[in-house]
A and B are shown apart, each in its own frame.
Chain A
Amino acid sequence: AQTVTQSQPEMSVQEAETVTLSCTYDTSESDYYLFWYKQPPSRQMILVIRQEAYKQQNATENRFSVNFQKAAKSFSLKISDSQLGDAAMYFCAYRTLYGQNFVFGPGTRLSVLP
Chain B
Amino acid sequence: GAVVSQHPSWVICKSGTSVKIECRSLDFQATTMFWYRQFPKQSLMLMATSNEGSKATYEQGVEKDKFLINHASLTLSTLTVTSAHPEDSSFYICSAITTGGGPLAQHFGDGTRLSIL
Which residues of A come within 8 Å of B, CB atoms?
Answer: 33, 35, 42-45, 47, 50-52, 91, 97-98, 100-102, 104-107, 109
B105 touches A44 (CB 8 A): no
Interface of B is mostly: strand
Which residues of B come within 8 Å of A, CB atoms?
Answer: 32, 34, 38, 41-44, 46, 49, 91, 93, 95, 97, 101, 103, 105-106, 108, 110-111
B111 touches A107 (CB 8 A): no
Q: How far is the CA of A33 from the CA of B93 in the complex (A)?
A: 21
Among A43, A98, A106, the residue within 8 A (CB) of B43 is A106
Q: How far is the CA of A101 from the CA of B103 in the complex (A)?
A: 12
CB B7 to nearest CB in A, in angstroms, measures 14
CB B74 to nearest CB in A, in angstroms, measures 15
CB A34 to nearest CB in B, in angstroms, measures 9
Chain A residues whose C-beta falls within 8 Å of the C-beta of B46 in the assembled complex: 101-102
Q: If A100-B32, A100-B97 touch, does A47 touch B105 (CB 8 Å cutoff)?
A: yes
B44 touches A43 (CB 8 A): no
Chain A residues whose C-beta falls within 8 Å of the C-beta of B110 in the assembled complex: 42-44
